[in-house]
Chain A
Amino acid sequence: MANHATSYSDKFVYHEPGLQHQFEDMKQQEESVSIGMWMFLVQEIMFFGGLFTVYLVFRFRFPMAFSMGSNHLNVIMGFTNTLVLIVSSLTMALTVYFAQRNKRNWQIGMIVLTMLFGLTFLYIKYLEYHEKYVDGLVPVAGWNRKVKLPGTELSAPLPFETGAVAASEQGGEEEKPYNNPRGEFQWREGSKLVSDALAEEKANPNKKVLTEYERAGYLDPTTGLVDEYRFQEKIRSFFWIYFALTGLHALHMIIGLGLMTWLLWQAFKGTFNSEYYSPVEMSGLYWHFVDIVWIFLFPLLYLLGRHLLAGG
């Protein structure tokens, strides 16, 4: 019974209102929460890292297919999205700042702003994806815009356009009508970089413009000329990588918006104060992490093929 009395009185020892009973003090609690969140972020880095590895291998193997695909992405939208995410990171940091200072209304305002910027990002992403859908660049057969021009058969194989476009590129830009009765992936930009490289190699036989992998990957082994089908498959791989990376990132944005919604409700109820704001800070860590992924995705996907067009 004596023991009972001791533990009874223990319950009235002062502790901070936000302190969970299993922790010694707020410092220990804070650190445990952060290290848990950081462990989660580390595995997220490895999660995205797998896809970045795919990107790395592809880019080392097929730099020309990479730069043609990369140049085809909408760089203005990518650039705008980068800025939108950076602003949302600022408002997220300020959310934590105001939560630590018991400023409930400012905190709510900042969460709402963060959510608005997050939604803007997703809307621009949607516009970008829609553009790819319209152009027939979604790498899954049947997921593209279906247009059946009169005089073409639905069951016939997709008329192969890249060769024709590449041929017409010599004579100038000629827009071919979009014809894609079964919504397949198609690449209408030709393979000009590769044929230029071949011409350059022909001019100086000592110069190797194409790598061994590219030679095997783009060229017809019998004729030694560009095989449009093979080249198209490499472009298709690029768009797989593009959609996988940006799609996974967009999924993280959607999850982040879910977190923000919950945070908004909690902040509205006045849950957070200078003593207890871990959920705000942890959601912030997640949001900033998603921002960091985009900081890498934007130059790697949208920009790194571009200097080849700038001509140097």
Chain B
Amino acid sequence: MAEPHIESQHMHIGIPGYLVVFGILVVGTILTFVVALQDLDWIFPGANTFVALAIAFTKMSCVMLFFMHVRWSPKLIWLAAICSFFWLSIMFSFTMQDYLTRGLGVFST
């Protein structure tokens, strides 16, 4: 009668854990703002973009793993989440390899 509850259903990090994740997200937001005001091109060209995206990816991972409970989700969910970025990277890279090698094209005017 007392069907044992699936443990994974209620797995999460609890309120203190949620607050820690929230803290990381706020710090990340402030950091991305402060860093954007510095010119980092002396490291390598486009370093600003790289840093901003790195922070955004970290924030996204926190949201996905803990707020969206991916960390305790079945492997199928992991697969769906990771594959979405794979498809996205195909869209970006195939589009760009065309645009970057095509000469002036339609944007010339």
Residues of A within 8 A of B (CB): 14, 16, 25-27, 30-31, 34-35, 38-39, 41-42, 45-46, 49-50, 52-53, 56-57, 60-62, 75, 79, 82-83, 86-87, 89-90, 92-94, 96-97, 100, 212-213, 216-217, 230, 274, 281, 284-285, 288-289, 291-292, 295-296, 298-300, 303-304, 306-308, 310-312
Contacts and interface: CB of A to CB of B under 8 A. Distances in A.
A295 B95 CA distance: 23
Contact of B108 (A25, A217, A303): A217
A49 B91 CA distance: 8
Interface residues of B, number: 59
Q: Find the residue from A93, A213, A292 having the highest chain B CB count within 10 A.
A: A93
Main SS at interface, chain B: helix
A100 B14 CA distance: 11
A120 to B, nearest CB: 16
Contact of A39 (B10, B22, B66, B80): B80
Contacts of A26: 3, 6, 9
Nearest to A101: B10
Contacts of B19: 90
A310 B87 contact: no
15 contacts: A14-B3, A35-B76, A56-B95, A60-B100, A75-B33, A86-B25, A89-B22, A94-B18, A213-B104, A216-B109, A295-B63, A296-B60, A299-B52, A299-B55, A300-B52
Given A49-B91, A230-B109, A288 B68 contact: yes
Contacts, number: 162
A92 B63 CA distance: 11
A265 B69 CA distance: 24
A89 B33 contact: no
Given A31-B76, A307-B40, A45 B96 contact: no
Given A42-B83, A304-B52, A307-B38, 10 more contacts: A31-B76, A35-B80, A42-B80, A52-B88, A90-B21, A94-B18, A213-B107, A216-B109, A217-B107, A304-B36
A68 B91 CA distance: 27
Contacts of B85: 45
Contacts of B48: 304, 307
A86 B22 contact: yes
Contacts of B77: 34-35, 38
Interface of B: 1, 3, 6, 9-10, 12, 14-15, 18-19, 21-22, 25-26, 29, 32-33, 36-42, 48-49, 52-53, 55-56, 59-60, 63-64, 66-69, 73-74, 76-77, 80-81, 83-85, 87-88, 91-92, 95-96, 99-100, 104, 107-109
Contacts of B59: 292, 295
A57 B29 CA distance: 26
Contacts of B38: 307, 310, 312
Given A27-B6, A57-B95, A307-B38, A292 B60 contact: yes
Contact of A285 (B49, B68, B87): B68
Contacts of A311: 39
A42 B67 CA distance: 17
A312 B6 CA distance: 56
A25 B6 CA distance: 10
Contact of B67 (A14, A83, A93, A303): A93
A222 to B, nearest CB: 13
